[in-house]
Structure 1
Amino acid sequence: MNYAIILSGGIGTRMQMGDFPKQYLEVEKKPILLYTLEQFQKSSAVEKIVIVAADAWREKIRGWMEEDGITKFLAFADAGDTRQESIHNGLTVCMEDSVSENDGVIIHDGVRPLVSEQLIGDCLAALADHEGCMPVLPMKDTIYQSSDGTKIDHLLERSTLFAGQAPEAFRLHPYAKINREASEEELSLTRGTSEIAYRHGMDVAMIPGDERNFKITTRSDLERFCTIVEGETK
């Protein structure tokens, strides 16, 4: 069985929307989160969905899912102080339901609503040969390193650099064990979903990502998403 953990507990400060979480902004009368959930509902590779969300939004989310026919929902998990703490909470819910050592988990941002069924399936399919998988994009621009943001220190080798995306997939039991045994400090310092996995020796493969699968972080990202949705609904 494959579980999906959808992270929907954050507040988008870079969107400059105050305390209103960007994943609940409506585009064409539908919250961004619901666009994301629909993709995992449609995916034949995913059986159950866990949503990490604050208590205050859960009743709303339940209503949206009922109206939209999201039937794979398993449970909510508590939002943590950091991304990795939220993931750990989601993993705990999955482990309480899991009955097989072969179960997988795929972790995704609620604000990446254009994830394709193909990418979801490809990530989970990679678990047949690897313990984890993340989609990446090659760097197109020349990349410089600067310690102070005002002068160049180094020119980095572009061919060895990749931009990571979500979703990221893992064999559930070993990944959950690593997170369960990690200290609070390690969880708080973990910057990416796959970081804690490869740091503890898990075999994490990279597969081609999707340019369309962008994260809605800024107003310009939101405008881009709105343009895409409006174009598809005409």
Structure 2
Amino acid sequence: MAGNSGTFDAGEAIFLVVAAGRGARAGAGGPKQYRELAGRQVLTRTLEALLNGAPEARALVTIHPDDLDLYQGAVAPLPDSLRERLLEPVFGGATRQDSVCNGLEALAALGAADDASVLIHDAARPFVAPGLIARALDAAREKGAAVPGLPVIDTIKKVAEDERIVATPERATLRAVQTPQAFRLALILAAHRAVRADGCRELTDDAAVAEWAGHCVFVFPGEAANIKLTTAEDFLRAETRMLNDLPDVRTGQGFDVHAFGEGDHVWLGGVQVPHDHGLVGHSDADVLLHAITDAVLGAIADGDIGAHFPPSDPQWRGAASDRFLRHAVARVAARGGRVAHIDATLICERPKVGPHRDAIRAQIAEIMDLPLDRVAVKATTSERLGFTGRQEGIAALAMATVRLP
């Protein structure tokens, strides 16, 4: 299980991420925090945004008891430097309020200081920005209890059961509240314990819990971009927003050839395919991954596979080619972009690719952290013409589409 227990410093900042809900309003597809958003799970994006936004902070996630495998899958793509700052996840309760209380109790049991700044955040808010996180941390230290809020633009009406308007609150005094909500640990833990002991009704957020316990809660500026993904329409809007943030669409091509030699298998797309010959190369000679790697590097005009992994360097002798492709994808990510689609073709008489196509596509999608429907793999013969027709080797062509800021 990803995470650590560790020790806590006085005043340390800790994110408590609430991810135990079922997200029924988002429609079919499982809990919304584990759904993909532009190729990555929502929780992955949320944790990355939080931990990058506060480099000294750690995070604890409350999850549903049935979701441990989903949680591990969500944190796996995070860099080691971020995963190391995750505490062991805690099982949530029947309600969000219970889940937060369980998380706070876990922090206290782990030895978090009373004056630790705890930022309680919805897992389904992946667009939290560093500036908002900084304001939340300042508010936790200065006020003890504070929440981000936005001025209300629309006129609000209070209605009776028969939909008759009974009041029009003054708009200037209203705020639409977001997360992360910021507290000193001792204050919010005591408030949640008091609510739990009293058995009062479910309160809608942690500010309400603190208010119920008699604390003053302050508001600091929120951000309109810090949306919560609740419905299927929210996911569509979020996808569109992310695509609009990456308007520079580029295409790269790759081509590679490897000759047959001795062996009993070939590597194609990271999959070991039985054959009466092997492929000759300095690495594992995975002709398909080599072509895709060059296509990705070509899309960002960043040289080719030989420039990044010279055949003259002995450290790459026999190396698994997925390392090369992961490196190319990381080069795209380092520029704030992402790979949008891969289309690749193998050219050979044998071995037959069809029986292995699904496994190859799945492996490439895993290596590149792409949805399966963004990876196309085809195969053709050369009608017994040329070196592939004479079964002297295999060729591969690839096209990569990349989106950059």
The answer, yes or no, to whether TM exceeds 0.5 is yes
Q: Secondary structure at the match of 1:75?
A: coil
The correspondence for 2:77, drawn from 58, 67, 70, is 67
Aligned-pair identity in percent equals: 28
Kindly provide the CA deviation profile for residues 153-181 of structure 1, in whole angstroms up to 9, marking residues without a partner as x: 22221111111111101000121122123
TM superposition score normalised by structure 2: 0.55
Partner SS for 2:176: strand
Q: Residue 24 of structure 2 corresponds to which residue in structure 1?
A: 13
Cα 1:230–1:185 change in 2 (3 A) is farther
Looking at structure 1, the residues matched to 198 and 88 of structure 2 have their Cα atoms a distance apart, in angstroms, of: 27
Does the 8 Å contact 2:35/2:42 carry over to 1? yes
Aligned with 1:74: secondary structure? coil
Does 2:97 align with 1:84? yes
Kept in 2, the 8 Å contact 1:168–1:194? The answer is yes
1:132 aligns with 2:108: no
Change (3 A) 1:224 1:46: farther
Q: Deviations over 1:80-108 (max 9, x none)?
A: 11111100001011112234332110000
CA distance in 1: counterparts of 2:56 and 2:164, whole angstroms: 47
Q: In the alignment, which residue of structure 2 is the partner of 1:22?
A: 32
Deviations 1:196-229 (A, max 9, x none): 1122222321001100001111122111111112
Higher relative contact order (Cα pairs below 8 Å, separated by 6+ residues): 1
Conservation of the 8 A alpha-carbon contact between 1:45 and 1:124 = no
User: In the alignment, residue 62 of structure 2 is paired with which amino acid?
Assistant: V
* Alpha carbons 2:139, 2:146 under 8 Å: kept: yes
In the other structure, the counterpart of 1:165 is 178
Matched, 1:204 2:217: yes
Contact kept, 8 Å, 1:54 with 1:78, in 2: the verdict is yes
Tell me how far 1:191 sits from its aligned partner. 1.7
Residue 4 (1) aligns with residue 1 (2): no
Q: What letter corresponds to residue 17 of structure 1 in structure 2?
A: A
Q: 1:8 to 1:75 in 2, by over 3 A?
A: same
SS in 2 for 1:179: helix
Most deviating of 222-231 and 183-192: 183-192
Gaps of 5+ in 2: 1-11, 247-402
Q: Runs in 1 of length 4+ with deviation above 6 angstroms?
A: none
For the residues of structure 2 that align with 1:149 and 1:167, how far apart are their CA atoms? 35
Q: Amino acid of the residue matched to residue 177 of structure 1?
A: A
Give the number of equivalent residue pairs: 233
Q: Which moved more, 1:132-141 or 1:45-54?
A: 45-54
Q: Offset at 1:44?
A: 2.5
Larger gyration radius, structure 1 or structure 2: 2
Shift of 1:149: 5.5
